[in-house]
Chains A and B, each alone.
Chain A
């Protein structure tokens, strides 16, 4: 029942929110995200040991039923979604948006879609939610975004839509291959896919992977991403970069690895090479960016690239590392975006060259920025370290003959990551104090939001066991 509520609460409150105006919408959104977070915590408490299921028939003659699963991976991602959405709602409390009812309504609908994607245990349900998460985000970006929002988000929409249609073709094909009457349930899809001839798996992999690669995004499918991140309003950028990119990674782990093992084996090295090119390429571009939002957008490509590289050179530690890193990346990048939006708010620009001296004018903010940047680089005692360490161990342990080469080149990305992140910190927080539009340190709500993020960063950096335990069971089923 928790599983259904996790989708229903944001869905219903989201629809309700359209009819409310002013602060009511904000309060409703806050309450709704709080309720979802509590539920996902409840789910995560039990999911490490046993998965919960939900199943009702939906369209019997298509062999699809509305079935959900709450295993370690799903509940971890739901938990992350819950935390991120709550932080977004908290830090946005003192900001005014035009038409708050629609804005928060769409945000909640996007959350419902995301929850559905993470919980789906039926391929068609998965596809439906996959699209449903996209549509509110499209409207959010186009309505409340920056100057060039319409072409940017349109590109984003068409790009991801092409990907999902290809995936749909793949899923329909798989369902026709299930024994007996067609079925979309995860076990029968996985069984049908795994028993296909390798040659078929190879092209099916292309169809399905395109959708995930665009969502993550993997080089060379990333071109929609920097523009969209830049043009979106910050709360939406958080949804995009902290949550929606995880849909891609999650899709790979749940709907690709067990389903098309031979396809994964065939394309594995190619994908790893692409991911590593993406890491280096995105890092190099990030170094020369002056716009902080674009810098973070490229850094996100690099981080996802590392996760994808580890995913396609499978090893127990690597996959486990992805689980941890999906969560951590979500938390860290949220913190980054929150601070970036505050910076933009205080200086009135996102150009790094026009900023400086935050450490003197707003010391609390500067400290938060520093801690989150360290986590994002992966310094020890932050959560980023745990994840990245496991990813590199995984890359190193993988069976591929190029594994050392992969690891070495990918590790360059970490150094480059330190270069652009610290450069950004240095330019924003230190140096000459530049004039600000609003000279103000953290407001109470911003303080609370960042405190949640930093607490998680340090807690998981010192004691990552809860997260590791939660996902251990899933890792075992994925690797074997």
Chain B
């Protein structure tokens, strides 16, 4: 709870700091300090809240349990890493640096609400708090037509999906007479009101929009590609992960008991997401666009956790969120250093910057799910969660085949870096500090891959 308040206040502080501080780099420093502060508040929350009994706030509209607290803390941690790695690049996007960071803090506020909502209105509120700053961030490179296009597209699609979400909430309210998500868990499979069923499907579709599940993924490539790269890195990671957390929270707590009703629909959505994400990524020429499709493909795997109604799924989504976010932010950091975003832009990077090439390789291994990287453990957990569910073995095998396809496009980057001749033009030489940070990030990826229990220490 303290974290929600702190994120809001820090966001406002950041906005006013923009008026006072003219120097861009001092704004970035302030943002990093505040992000650390927010992490501190989260940890404070974590320590002071009893681990066993969830605490309700606002008439139980928010209900903070151990999963929520731990997820918020981890996501804040990822954001700290993000500000450290990407902060410098955000300076280059436009004039209003302080505002960008303020918006990121507001997004975090949305993340916290989504991780602990206990009421459909809070879900709605969380999603809006999460989304609206993103519409602005997507369009922050005002002189770039693609950025404006991304913003408008995102806004229109986002507004549309919000409408669908509201419709779903209304139907669910009609069926049960309550906004409380726990109330939905009393729905019975054999006596299911069609209204409720309709509501579930609408909510599923709306959340599918947010997590870019096929066939609601159409906006993703254009928005991710068009937005300024630093913000793409944030959207594709922290934001997406928390939308997933909201998704799994609702479908486990509320609709877990009637999972037989929606499993088929969601498993088809999952299969479609995996298929479209992976196959389309193969044909991309730009690494940035490839990463947007790969984020769709990874969403397919995260949907595994939503499909599986059990404790492993919770652990799975948390590990996946962290491992995937860290690796993706790492790759985007390297990408931002390059002048050319196509595969050819990576040619010969290993000769020029061996360290940069090495960390990128580890990040790509993680995304591809090679053992001893975080990505492997993440995939492992979600697969095991689905496996425990029984019934869905076909989806597991399909998913693994798709993971094999993903090797194709991730390894193209590795091939370009190591085995092709080229010059890999960089914007500026990589500083020692950045190298250290990248190595730490890389170390985290490997650490999660070897000891995933470190991520699950608190739950």
> B458 within 8 Å of A by Cβ?
no
Secondary structure type dominating chain A contacts:
helix
Q: Who on chain B is nearest to A203 by CB?
A: B393
Q: How far, in angstroms, from A166 to B403 measured CA to CA in the complex?
A: 11
Question: How distant is B309 from chain A, measured CB to nearest CB, in Å?
Answer: 15
Are B371 and A162 interface neighbours, CB within 8 A? Answer: no
Are A172 and B452 interface neighbours, CB within 8 A? Answer: no
Are A158 and B384 interface neighbours, CB within 8 A? Answer: no
Known contacts A59-B453, A131-B370; decide if A169 and B419 are in contact (CB<8 Å).
no
Are B370 and A165 interface neighbours, CB within 8 A? Answer: no
Near B by CB (< 8 A), chain A positions 145-162 give 149-150, 154, 157-158, 161-162
Provide the residues of chain A in CB contact with B404, threshold 8 Å. 158, 161-162, 165
Question: How distant is B215 from chain A, measured CB to nearest CB, in Å?
Answer: 26
Binds B, one of A135-143, A335-343, A456-464: A135-143
A159-175 vs B: 1/0 string, CB under 8 Å? 00110011011001101
A109-128 vs B: 1/0 string, CB under 8 Å? 00000000000000000011
Q: How far, in angstroms, from A173 to B388 measured CA to CA in the complex?
A: 8
Are A132 and B397 interface neighbours, CB within 8 A? Answer: no
Are A59 and B451 interface neighbours, CB within 8 A? Answer: yes
Provide the residues of chain B in CB contact with A61, threshold 8 Å. 315, 453, 456
Near B by CB (< 8 A), chain A positions 223-245 give none
Binds A, one of B129-137, B273-281, B407-415: B407-415
Q: How many residues of B contact A (CB 8 A)?
A: 27
Q: How far, in angstroms, from A311 to B418 measured CA to CA in the complex?
A: 40
Are B418 and A139 interface neighbours, CB within 8 A? Answer: yes
Q: How far, in angstroms, from A131 to B371 measured CA to CA in the complex?
A: 7
Provide the residues of chain B in CB contact with A127, threshold 8 Å. 371
Are A173 and B393 interface neighbours, CB within 8 A? Answer: yes
Are B370 and A154 interface neighbours, CB within 8 A? Answer: no
Q: How far, in angstroms, from A168 to B384 measured CA to CA in the complex?
A: 10
> B387 within 8 Å of A by Cβ?
yes
Q: Who on chain A is nearest to B393 by CB?
A: A173
Known contacts A60-B453, A61-B453, A165-B404; decide if A142 and B415 are in contact (CB<8 Å).
yes
Q: How far, in angstroms, from A143 to B418 measured CA to CA in the complex?
A: 8
Are A135 and B370 interface neighbours, CB within 8 A? Answer: yes
Are B400 and A173 interface neighbours, CB within 8 A? Answer: no
Question: How distant is A155 from chain B, measured CB to nearest CB, in Å?
Answer: 11
Question: How distant is B446 from chain A, measured CB to nearest CB, in Å?
Answer: 12
> A51 within 8 Å of B by Cβ?
no
Are A176 and B387 interface neighbours, CB within 8 A? Answer: yes
> A207 within 8 Å of B by Cβ?
yes
Tell which of A132, A158, A162, A172 touches B383, judged by Cβ atoms closer than 8 Å: A172
> B195 within 8 Å of A by Cβ?
no
Q: How far, in angstroms, from A173 to B394 measured CA to CA in the complex?
A: 12
Q: Who on chain A is nearest to B386 by CB?
A: A172
Q: How far, in angstroms, from A173 to B395 measured CA to CA in the complex?
A: 13
Q: How far, in angstroms, from A207 to B394 measured CA to CA in the complex?
A: 12
Known contacts A60-B453, A154-B415, A165-B404; decide if A173 and B371 are in contact (CB<8 Å).
no
Near A by CB (< 8 A), chain B positions 404-455 give 404, 407-408, 411, 415, 418-419, 451-453
Q: How far, in angstroms, from A270 to B396 measured CA to CA in the complex?
A: 26
Given contacts A61-B456, A62-B384, 16 further A-B contacts (CB under 8 A): A59-B452, A59-B453, A61-B315, A62-B452, A128-B371, A128-B372, A142-B418, A157-B407, A162-B404, A165-B403, A166-B397, A169-B397, A172-B384, A172-B396, A175-B384, A176-B384
Residues in B lying within 8 Å of A, measured CB to CB:
315, 365, 370-372, 380, 383-384, 387-388, 393, 396-397, 400-401, 403-404, 407-408, 411, 415, 418-419, 451-453, 456
Can you report 27 A-B residue pairs in the complex whose CB atoms are below 8 A from each other? A59-B452, A59-B453, A60-B453, A61-B315, A61-B453, A128-B372, A131-B370, A131-B371, A132-B371, A132-B372, A135-B365, A142-B415, A142-B419, A143-B418, A150-B419, A157-B411, A158-B408, A161-B404, A162-B404, A166-B397, A168-B383, A169-B383, A169-B400, A172-B380, A173-B393, A176-B384, A182-B384
